[in-house]
Amino acid sequence: MALEDAKNQIDTAFTRAELRGLAYENAFAGAPSFLRRRYTKDLTGVELAVTGVPFDQAVTNRPGTRFGPRAIREAATLQAFDAPYGWGYDPLSELSIVDYGDLAFDYAHTASFPDRVTDHIATILQAGAGVITLGGDHFITLPILRAMAARHGPVALIHFDAHSDTWADDDMARIDHGTFLYKALKLGYVAPETTVSVGIRTDNPDTCGVHILDAPFVHREGIEATLARIRDIVGTRPCYISFDIDCLDPAFAPGTGTPVWGGLASWQAAALLRGLAGVNLVGGDVVEVSPPYDPTGATAIAGAHVASELIALYGFTRRKG
């Protein structure tokens, strides 16, 4: 069946009739929607939407994450043939998932950008769908969390990153990817007691009370101990996961603006995400994929896998039966 489909499927981003099911279109051909889901702004009957926010005007070092959503979608064409490995179910067949496309915004009017992001995400949430976002730099998580908190109340946050992103900045009009968590805490979108940052390996004197499970902790204590701590912190609360690709060591994800050695290996990230099965996930993002700094495409592939794992996590508590 898969072989016959591969002979006939093309541009399934536009031609597929069903929102559920795997896709067998040749990985090297056709329009690259995320996991070959249908491109649409129609959220009728949709359980989960994937959307892109191609923004990189808040970076402190190298730009390029505006190209992240496009690269992640292209990388995801390699993953559309099979259910995500190790989950025991197929979220692509059990959930109605669409690619909602990218956020439209005026690149030369950055002051209006945060509200555009919040409104974009709120539109999806108001339709009753969850949302996984492809970034973009890490600033985008702040206006996303504003929409999440308006919908669910303050959410528990699992934050994978090399950096704490809690640098003090009380000017809420500033757009800076290194201060998104500081502002989310100050604005009440998340609370420090239910926020955990995993993979940190840069100094910041003020982590604002956030629980820190730094990269040496993960390497030393292992996956199960790390998962136990995360679960104790977030409990059963509505939970959001933000995954900065620089949480991975540059050996696994060189295409990012602020790489730091000593990070997680891809197998550790995969084990942690899969080990979180059952958390009350209401949304997530993968950010800071900057394709210009990785001609191999490995970083975009890692980003696509993270987004696929987030989809599997979202569907795990909503699967049939």
Cis peptide before 283 (omega within 30 of 0): no
Give the model confidence (pLDDT) of 129-140 as tens digits: 999 999 999 999
Mean pLDDT of 241-266: 98
Query: Is residue 4 over pLDDT 70?
Result: no
3-state SS, residue 133: strand
Q: What is the pLDDT of residue 209?
A: 96
Amino acid (one-letter) located at 210 = V
Residue 170 in any domain: the answer is yes
Give the model confidence (pLDDT) of 92-110 as tens digits: 999 999 999 999 999 999 9
Query: Rounded distance, CA 149 to CA 161, Å?
Result: 21
Query: Is residue 249 over pLDDT 70?
Result: yes
The predicted model scores a pTM of: 0.97
Query: Residue 268's pLDDT band (boundaries 50, 70, 90)?
Result: very high
Query: Is residue 1 over pLDDT 70?
Result: no
Give the model confidence (pLDDT) of 206-223 as tens digits: 999 999 999 999 999 999
Residue 231 in any domain: the answer is yes
Q: What is the pLDDT of residue 320?
A: 79
Full residue range of the structural domain in which residue 248 is found: 2-316
Q: How far is CA 138 from CA 15, 48, 77, 180, 243, in A?
A: 33, 21, 24, 7, 9
Query: Residue 8's pLDDT band (boundaries 50, 70, 90)?
Result: confident
DSSP secondary structure string for all residues of 216-272: HHHHHH-HHHHHHHHHHHHTTS-EEEEEEGGGB-TTT---SSS--SS-B-HHHHHHH
Residue 124 in any domain: the answer is yes
Residue 321 in any domain: the answer is no
Residue 57 in any domain: the answer is yes
Question: For a pLDDT cut of 90, what percent of the chain falls above it?
Answer: 96
Query: Is residue 321 over pLDDT 90?
Result: no
Residue 38 in any domain: the answer is yes
Residue 11 in any domain: the answer is yes
**187 neighbors 114 (Cβ within 8 angstroms):** no
Q: What is the pLDDT of residue 6?
A: 75
Mean pLDDT of 291-295: 97
**Residue 28: partners with Cβ closer than 8 Å, 6 or more residues away:** 77
Query: Residue 2's pLDDT band (boundaries 50, 70, 90)?
Result: low
Mean pLDDT over each residue of the chain, to the nearest integer:
96
Q: How many domains does the chain have?
A: 1
Mean pLDDT of 19-31: 94
As given in the structure block, the two tokens for residue 119 are 């409104």
Query: Residue 5's pLDDT band (boundaries 50, 70, 90)?
Result: confident
Q: Which residue has the tokens 């997530």?
A: 284
As given in the structure block, the two tokens for residue 72 are 């992640």
**CATH assignment at residue 109:** 3.40.800.10
Q: What is the pLDDT of residue 48?
A: 98
Mean pLDDT of 238-246: 98
Mean pLDDT of 170-188: 96
Mean pLDDT of 51-79: 97
